[in-house]
Structures are given as structure tokens and as C-alpha cells.
Amino acid sequence: MKDKFKELPLRSGVGIVVLNKHDKVFVAKRIDNPKNFWQMPQGGVDQGEDYLSAAYRELEEETSIKNVKLIEELEGLITYHLPDRLLGIIWKGKYKGQKQKWFLMRFFGEDKEINIKTKNPEFFDWKWVDLKEITNLVVDFKLQVYQEVQKKVEQILINRS
């Protein structure tokens, strides 16, 4: 990491694993990265906002999904750092990465309720995938996050069955 960015703070964020009735995971392709990378909904926590409220807000802002129920809050925070090529660019250069709280939620709606053409769209495509696929789809610098999320969600689903 370049010296001038070492002292930057980590951004507080949330991530949401949305499962449909078939236990498939919602992923979407970002507008600002046209390569074949997919991600789960995630975003920043506003000042004075708690993690769960931020998760519901981000989910609705990015996907229009409202018809969800919290299954479980994943234990701990998961951190990632931006690669050097993105430092000083993403988040107006104010952060060196994120510390995220992740949530597992169940979607009870119909696919037609999902709308990524939102007021400020972040995605241009979406799909449902198997949980085991998420680590094959994500951008390199978030791989460790998705590996950890995948393991935690697998354990939750095993414990609930």
C-alpha cells in the first residue's frame, strides 16, 4: 500500500446475502466494472445509522428488494483493503478499504419485484447463483471477504436444516 494512503481509515459498510426460496444467492454486475465480476448487495453505513438499518436501506436502494426477512447477522466484521490501483479513487479517496457487517436474509417476493434500474443505479445485470459459486464471480480484492461469508452462511444453513 502506498505510504500516503496507509493512514486512511476503513469505511464502515454492510453486505447482504439474499437467498431465494431455492437457497440461491442474489448477485449483480456493477455498472462501473464491465468485466465479468458479480457481487452481493453492499454499501456504506451513514452517520448515526446502525448496521441492520443500513443493510435494509442499501438493499432497497440497489435492488428495490423490500420483501425480505432477516435470517441471521453474521458474526464479526470482515475487512478488505483496496488494491493500490484503486486507492485515492474509490470513495473520493477518503478510505483505504472497508470493515463490513454481513447479514443473511430470505427473499419472499417474486423476481419481477427486483429492479436494478433504481434512482442511482449501481448494477446493470443480476442473477441467482449457488452459494458455492460466489467466490468464482467476485473481483479479486473482495475474494477473502466472499470466502469468509460463504463459510459462515454454509454453517448457518447446515445448523438450520
Retrieve residue 116's grid coordinates.
436494478
**92 bridge partner residues:** none
> Mean pLDDT, the chain, as a whole number?
93
Q: What structural domains does the chain harbor?
A: 3-160 (3.90.79.10)
Which residue in this structure is represented by grid cell 466472499? 146
**pTM metric for this prediction:** 0.94
Distance CA 56, CA 40 (A): 13
Q: What is the pLDDT of residues 37-81, one digit of tens each?
A: 999 999 999 999 999 999 999 999 999 999 999 999 999 999 999
Range with the poorest average pLDDT among 62-66, 84-88, 98-102, 137-141: 84-88
| pLDDT mean over 24-38 | 90
Of 75, 11, 92, 93, whose CA–CA distance to 45 is shortest? 11
Torsion (CA) 53, 57, 63, 68 in degrees, nearest 10: 40
Spatial contact of 8 and 96, defined as CB atoms under 8 Å apart: yes
